[in-house]
């Protein structure tokens, strides 16, 4: 990051606006504003346990946000991340039902399960991609529809074919055998392997988008679909590739949720991480360098929200309101020039390939 | 308001800036009642900006408009219409899916369906149009859309009528009808017409006074008899005026030019066909062409003419691999291209140059160097070097590899697109390659296209400018009503003759017309 520059001062003014809007919401919600904020932002940071909790949300969030960079780079509004996480979770859980925990090497089982998760997410995303490329169905509609379909699939599996012996329960499927769980961290289910995978995925995606011709082609597709076609860049294939990569990473997040956090398939396993990741990426106007920060910020908020009912007898859904208000305020500040052109200035080289998506054209 | 009185309009020191560009720089004009004023100037001279200020579409930064002695610092479209100022835009401002009478009724006083249709019929009759009231406007030709728009303006009783390049895309006969209407309009009750054009002969034919704009300023005002040389010099500056007269050559001069080009491509006559269409029928989502049969030889320069919507657009796209081949055969370099994708056409050496450069050809937010990388993916060496050698030195693209394409002017956009045409292109399909370009850029485009043809590339291009087609091609195809109505050598053709083909009035003439 550069030293303080006009751009970063603008970011601060955008943050100021966001904070003011949040305080206004809290005021009208009848919550003590400052205490609430302390709980929200401090709750996820004030102890090792809560830090681990923060990290366990950070990993799927960061993976999904990374995934979204790939589709946004190609100009695709992939809002089907939720469903892609879910299908990843389904594939991982489904795979781990197959081998015998006594004899199958656990490391191999986990690697294969995560691979299956990647494939599951990619498949679900490719459905939306194919509908867009061959069927002219916009990915927003197919993504939304497939999210519902994915929820239906998990519920059916949990209550039907994969129900626990003797009882079908919404609490989920039979827990995984110990051997097929990702090693925890300090006894807590926050897996180091997940963090490593997320960071590696982020580095890979940013490298692909910024340094390779493939990334340039995605940028070309986003900039001008017609010209990309005329130049023989096969825009349809590029979009499918971006969707597959995005869905794969989201599926991986789902696989990590199964093997590292919940240790079984539960209903709504995607836990809104997909939607929150969209907010995180939008908040930093798709500037990759700021994506980890934004994801961590939201992870802190999510962890803090859990403590709202205990500490202040406020409903934790207030955190959702605050998240939404923050992102809106940020976007508004960027769009209306209060915070300068966030999209154009946050990170990235001039004429960069990812920035400016929000403040620029949306064709 | 007294609409019977002669209208009196005065524009004072109109200045309009777009960022750093001064589109209008203190323009002062007095418009005289009962006159047809021609407003001439090359592209980007500021004609349209000035007219849009007058019609209230945009506000000027400085200056004022005085109508009937009342000063207005700025007008809105509604206020301008209220004063009786109407504009016929280059692209008609209508609603294509709505029926003609619905378009006519919009913006006018409240009327029932019957009243609107009756009024439209009455106006059509007095103007000599035959507009089908229930037909959606999207099925109209450009000329008919223009006529409908004109009827709407007449209904609103405009006293000052602005026409922005009204003869683009209409036939010479339709032009004559239009000009007749304009003469009547101006002669009646002291009304004013402003004709914005870059076509000198039209201004000479119609206008009582010609105003010339150059680089945002009003640089000259002329009355008949006009001196074409002086007008051109005023429009383009002295050095470019000579080049500007070049597209005007026809007849003998055109034939001489073609002979030169044929000599430059000696293999043309004997060489086997590069592309062969045998009853090839192209279609896209919106329309379909009947089967077309013809062959293209290496080194040929083929001009394609037709009024807008005549089918030549789809024909060009089909040739370039951008439309479906419904039936028949399209053999290119020995391979049947039916069912092949764009990539296969690229491999076969086909390149398409779109008319809407920024919308279809370039990536606005990507840098010039990124365009070079995308256009020459197999270039393994230093990209900077390729950019300097090819893009800057050879095609005069600005030497700013990191600048985004959106910062380029129209001429530079076309230069960038020219540099992206591979040198080994075998069939170049160019859609209006000089549309909207200034004279120097046009010259560069044609130098390059003819150089490609001399090396054996078949060049197929379309143009709205029949003079350009006559001057630049060796063979001419004319489309009318979605059919290929003429396939003829350019030598001996005239604008009038092509115009007859374009409007389907030459069905019984001697030129061979394939089924």
Asked if B67 and B9 count as a contact pair (C-beta separation under 8 A), the reply is yes
CB contact under 8 A, A226 and B360: yes
Given a cut of 80, is residue A233 above it in pLDDT?
A: yes
Residues B226 and B351 in one domain: no
Asked if A65 and A294 count as a contact pair (C-beta separation under 8 A), the reply is yes
Given a cut of 90, is residue A205 above it in pLDDT?
A: yes
Look at residue B173 and tell me if it is in a domain: yes
Residues B231 and B331 in one domain: no
Given a cut of 60, is residue B209 above it in pLDDT?
A: yes
B377 contact residues in A (CB cutoff 8 A): 213
Given a cut of 80, is residue A299 above it in pLDDT?
A: yes
Q: Which of A133, A212, A224 to mutate to test the interface with B (most CBs of B within 10 A)?
A: A224
- A212 vs B: CB within 8 A: no
pLDDT value of position B169: 67
Across A257-261, average pLDDT: 92
pLDDT value of position A102: 81
Residues B276 and B347 in one domain: yes
pLDDT confidence bin for A190, thresholds 50/70/90 = low
Look at residue B136 and tell me if it is in a domain: no
Look at residue B438 and tell me if it is in a domain: no
Q: How close A129 gets to chain B, by Cα (Å)?
A: 19
What residues make up the domain containing B484?
Answer: 272-355+426-433+455-502
Nearest to A351 among B362, B367, B374 (CB): B367
Alpha carbon distances (Å) from B275 to A125, A323, B258, B459:
41, 61, 21, 12
Across B373-399, average pLDDT: 87
Distance CA A28, CA B305 (A): 68
- A238 vs B: CB within 8 A: no
- A359 vs B: CB within 8 A: no
Mean pLDDT of chain B: 84
CB contact under 8 A, B374 and A220: yes
Nearest to B364 among A223, A231, A233 (CB): A223
pLDDT value of position A353: 44
Question: A2-16, A87-101, B41-55, B154-168 — which one is most confidently predicted on average?
Answer: A87-101
3-state secondary structure of A193: helix
Q: How close A212 gets to chain B, by Cα (Å)?
A: 11
CB contact under 8 A, B359 and A226: yes
Look at residue B329 and tell me if it is in a domain: yes
Distance CA B86, CA B150 (A): 9
CB contact under 8 A, A220 and B361: no
pLDDT value of position B508: 46
Residues B198 and B282 in one domain: no
Distance CA A148, CA A80 (A): 9
Residues B236 and B293 in one domain: no
pLDDT confidence bin for B512, thresholds 50/70/90 = very low
Find the radius of gyration of the CA atoms of chain A: 21
User: Percent of chain B scored above 90 by pLDDT?
Assistant: 42
Residues B205 and B321 in one domain: no
Local structure of residue B61 (DSSP, 8 states): S
Residues B287 and B346 in one domain: yes
Residues B162 and B295 in one domain: no
Given a cut of 70, is residue B378 above it in pLDDT?
A: yes
Given a cut of 60, is residue A361 above it in pLDDT?
A: no
Predicted ipTM of the assembly:
0.79
pLDDT value of position B167: 78
Given a cut of 80, is residue B147 above it in pLDDT?
A: yes
Given a cut of 80, is residue A330 above it in pLDDT?
A: no
- Of B198, B226, B241, the last residue of a domain is B241
φ, ψ at B326 (rounded to 5°): -70, -45
3-state SS string for A254-283: HHHHHHHHHCCCCCCCCCCHHHHHHHHHHH
CB contact under 8 A, B366 and A233: no
CB contact under 8 A, B377 and A213: yes
pLDDT confidence bin for A42, thresholds 50/70/90 = confident
pLDDT value of position A9: 47
Task: Report the range of poorest mean pLDDT among A198-212, A223-237, B231-245.
Answer: B231-245
Local structure of residue B136 (DSSP, 8 states): B
- Of B241, B262, B290, the last residue of a domain is B241
Q: Which residues contact B494 (CB under 8 A, 6 or more apart)?
A: B250, B251, B470
Find the radius of gyration of the CA atoms of chain B: 24
CB contact under 8 A, B359 and A234: no
Given a cut of 90, is residue A323 above it in pLDDT?
A: no
Residues B226 and B293 in one domain: no
Given a cut of 50, is residue A338 above it in pLDDT?
A: no
CB contact under 8 A, A351 and B404: yes
CB contact under 8 A, B402 and A350: yes
Residues B180 and B31 in one domain: yes
CATH of the domain at B294: 3.40.50.300
Q: How close A22 gets to chain B, by Cα (Å)?
A: 34
pLDDT confidence bin for B238, thresholds 50/70/90 = low
Look at residue B4 and tell me if it is in a domain: no
Across A262-275, average pLDDT: 91
- Of B195, B224, B241, the last residue of a domain is B241
**Structural domains in chain A, sorted by start:** 6-345 (1.10.3470)
Nearest to A351 among B361, B402, B420 (CB): B402
Look at residue B59 and tell me if it is in a domain: yes
Distance CA B295, CA B487 (A): 11
Tell me the DSSP string of B306-344.
Answer: E-TTSSHHHHHHHHTT-SEEEEEEEEETTEE-TT--HHH
Looking at the structure of chain B, the number of domains it has is 2
Look at residue B181 and tell me if it is in a domain: yes
- B69 vs A: CB within 8 A: no
Given a cut of 90, is residue A193 above it in pLDDT?
A: no
A221 contact residues in B (CB cutoff 8 A): none
Residues B166 and B78 in one domain: yes
Q: How close A209 gets to chain B, by Cα (Å)?
A: 13
Sort A328 into a burial class: Cβ within 10 Å, 0-12 / 13-18 / 19+. middle
Cα of A83 vs its chain's centroid, Å:
11
pLDDT confidence bin for A362, thresholds 50/70/90 = very low
Phi-psi region of B514 (alpha: psi -120 to 50; beta: other; left: phi over 0): beta
- B421 vs A: CB within 8 A: no
Residues B346 and B476 in one domain: yes
Look at residue B152 and tell me if it is in a domain: no
- B346 vs A: CB within 8 A: yes
């Amino acid at each position: 990051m550069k030293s303080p520059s006009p751009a970063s001062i603008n970011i601060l003014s955008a943050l100021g606006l966001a904070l003011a809007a949040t305080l206004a919401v809290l005021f009208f919600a009848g919550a003590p504003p400052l205490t609430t904020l302390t709980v929200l932002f401090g709750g996820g940071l004030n102890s090792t346990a809560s830090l681990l909790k923060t990290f366990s949300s950070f990993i799927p969030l960061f993976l999904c946000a990374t995934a979204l960079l790939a589709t946004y780079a190609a100009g695709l509004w992939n809002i089907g991340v939720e469903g892609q996480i879910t299908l990843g979770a389904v594939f991982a859980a489904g795979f781990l039902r197959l081998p015998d925990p006594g004899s199958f090497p656990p490391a191999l089982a986990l690697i294969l399960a995560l691979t299956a998760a990647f494939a599951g997410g990619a498949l679900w995303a490719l459905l939306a991609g194919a509908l867009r490329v061959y069927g002219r169905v916009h990915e927003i509609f197919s993504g939304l529809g497939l999210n519902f379909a994915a929820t239906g699939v998990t519920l059916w599996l949990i209550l039907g074919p994969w129900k626990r012996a003797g009882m079908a329960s919404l609490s989920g499927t039979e827990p995984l055998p110990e051997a097929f769980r990702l090693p925890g961290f300090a006894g807590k289910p926050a897996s180091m392997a997940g963090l490593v995978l997320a960071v590696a995925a982020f580095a890979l995606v940013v490298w692909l988008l910024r340094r390779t011709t493939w990334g340039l082609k995605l940028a070309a597709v986003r900039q001008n679909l017609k010209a990309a076609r005329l130049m023989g860049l096969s825009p349809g294939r590029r979009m499918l590739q971006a969707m597959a990569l995005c869905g794969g990473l989201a599926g991986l997040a789902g696989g990590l949720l199964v093997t590292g956090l919940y240790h079984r398939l539960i209903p709504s396993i995607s836990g809104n991480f997909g939607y929150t990741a969209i907010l995180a990426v939008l908040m930093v106007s798709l500037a990759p360098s700021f994506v980890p920060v934004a994801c961590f910020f939201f992870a802190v908020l999510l962890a803090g929200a859990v403590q709202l009912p205990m500490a202040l007898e406020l409903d934790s859904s207030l955190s959702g309101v605050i998240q939404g208000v923050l992102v809106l305020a940020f976007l508004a500040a960027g769009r209306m020039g209060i915070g300068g052109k966030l999209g154009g200035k946050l990170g990235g080289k001039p004429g960069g390939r990812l920035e400016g998506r929000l403040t620029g054209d949306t064709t | 308001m007294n609409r019977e009185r002669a209208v009196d309009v005065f524009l004072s020191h109109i200045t309009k800036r777009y960022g750093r560009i001064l589109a209008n720089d203190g323009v002062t004009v007095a418009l005289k009642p009962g006159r047809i004023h021609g407003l001439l100037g090359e592209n980007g001279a500021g004609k349209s900006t000035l007219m849009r200020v007058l019609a209230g579409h945009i506000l000027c930064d400085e200056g004022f408009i005085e109508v009937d002695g009342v000063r207005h610092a700025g007008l809105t479209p509604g206020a301008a219409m209220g004063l009786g100022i109407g504009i016929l835009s280059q692209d008609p401002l209508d609603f294509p899916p709505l029926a003609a009478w619905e378009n006519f009724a919009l913006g006018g006083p409240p009327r029932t369906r019957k009243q609107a249709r009756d009024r439209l019929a009455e106006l059509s009759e007095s103007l000599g149009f035959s507009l089908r009231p229930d037909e959606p406007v999207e099925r109209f030709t450009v000329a008919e859309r223009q006529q409908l728009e004109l009827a709407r303006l007449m209904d609103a009783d405009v006293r000052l009528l602005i026409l922005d390049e009204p003869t683009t895309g209409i036939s010479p006969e339709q032009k004559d009808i239009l000009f007749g209407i304009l003469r009547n309009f101006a002669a009646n009750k002291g009304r004013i017409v402003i004709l914005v054009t870059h076509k000198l002969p039209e201004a000479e034919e119609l206008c009582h006074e010609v105003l010339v704009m150059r680089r945002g300023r009003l640089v000259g005002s002329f009355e008949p008899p006009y001196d074409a040389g002086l007008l051109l010099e005023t429009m383009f500056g002295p050095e470019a005026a000579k080049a500007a007269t070049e597209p005007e050559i026809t007849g003998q001069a055109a034939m001489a030019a073609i002979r030169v080009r044929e000599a430059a491509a000696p293999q043309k006559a004997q060489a086997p066909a590069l592309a062969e269409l045998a009853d090839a029928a192209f279609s896209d989502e919106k329309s379909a062409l009947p089967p077309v049969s013809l062959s293209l030889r290496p080194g040929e320069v083929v001009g394609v003419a037709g009024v807008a919507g005549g089918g030549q657009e789809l024909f060009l796209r089909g040739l370039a691999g951008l439309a479906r081949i419904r039936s028949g055969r399209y053999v290119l370099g020995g391979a049947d291209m039916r069912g092949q994708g764009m990539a296969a056409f690229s491999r076969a050496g086909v390149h398409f140059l779109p008319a809407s450069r920024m919308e279809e050809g370039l990536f606005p937010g990507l840098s010039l160097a990124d365009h070079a990388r995308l256009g020459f993916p197999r270039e393994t060496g230093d990209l900077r070097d390729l950019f300097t050698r090819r893009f800057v030195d050879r095609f005069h693209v600005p030497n700013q590899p990191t600048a985004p394409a959106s910062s380029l002017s129209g001429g530079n956009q076309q230069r960038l697109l020219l540099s992206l045409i591979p040198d080994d292109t075998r069939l170049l399909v160019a859609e209006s390659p000089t549309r909207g370009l200034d004279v120097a850029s046009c010259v560069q485009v044609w130098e390059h296209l003819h150089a490609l043809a001399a090396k054996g590339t078949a060049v197929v291009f379309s143009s709205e400018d029949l003079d350009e087609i006559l001057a630049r091609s060796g063979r001419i195809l004319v489309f009318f009503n979605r059919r290929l109505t003429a396939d003829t050598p350019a030598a001996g053709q005239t604008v009038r003759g092509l115009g007859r083909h374009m409007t389907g009035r030459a069905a019984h003439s001697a030129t061979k017309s394939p089924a």
